[in-house]
């Protein structure tokens, strides 16, 4: 079995190219208006995002440097750190042009449940780049653009 060429991938409809499971490579936040960039989920983030043919999606992103609680039950401080080191949600998705909108049915942060999360996308080889429009960061509220790189799981 040979891998598809970039030209073959480009010719596929967007919806079919997005289908499947993608592994998180990086998450960079660019603050507005300063332009300062930070590695939002740490140097080795972990995560998956899956788009299915029935129009459903699920996303799970975690910092690569998360610490386990010292005991079986997390302290209040440990629980807060764990909460602030994950983004997870699921729902349906729609595509219009170069935007995919995630219609959130359930999430780690109840303020996202019922929301629409817009991602601007572009494909490059076996990667998809998803970026938010300028919006408040879910962790600290700073206006920013979060850019995620995902690699197709084979």
The residue ranges of the chain whose pLDDT is under 50 are 1-9
- Cα 55 from Cα 104, distance rounded (Å): 12
Q: Which CATH number is 6-148's, of 3.40.50.970, 3.20.20.150, 3.40.50.11030, 2.40.128.280?
A: 2.40.128.280
Sketch the domain layout of the chain as residue ranges.
6-148
Nearest to 122 by CA among 146, 149, 152: 149
Residue 77, H or E segment? helix 76-83
For residue 105, the model assigns a pLDDT of 98
């Amino acid at each position: 079995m040979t891998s598809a060429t970039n030209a073959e991938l480009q010719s596929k409809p967007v919806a079919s190219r997005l289908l499947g499971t993608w592994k998180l490579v990086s998450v960079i936040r660019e603050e507005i208006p300063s332009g300062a960039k930070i590695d939002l989920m740490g140097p080795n983030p972990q995560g998956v995002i899956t788009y299915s043919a029935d129009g459903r999606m699920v996303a799970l992103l975690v910092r690569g440097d998360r610490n386990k609680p010292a005991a079986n039950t997390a302290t209040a401080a440990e629980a807060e750190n764990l909460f602030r080191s994950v983004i997870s949600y699921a729902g349906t998705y729609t595509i219009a042009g170069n935007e995919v909108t995630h219609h959130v049915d359930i999430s780690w942060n109840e303020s996202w449940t019922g929301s629409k999360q817009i991602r601007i996308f572009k494909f490059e080889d076996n990667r998809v780049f998803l970026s938010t429009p300028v919006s408040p960061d879910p962790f600290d509220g700073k206006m920013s653009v979060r850019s995620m790189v995902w690699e197709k799981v084979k």
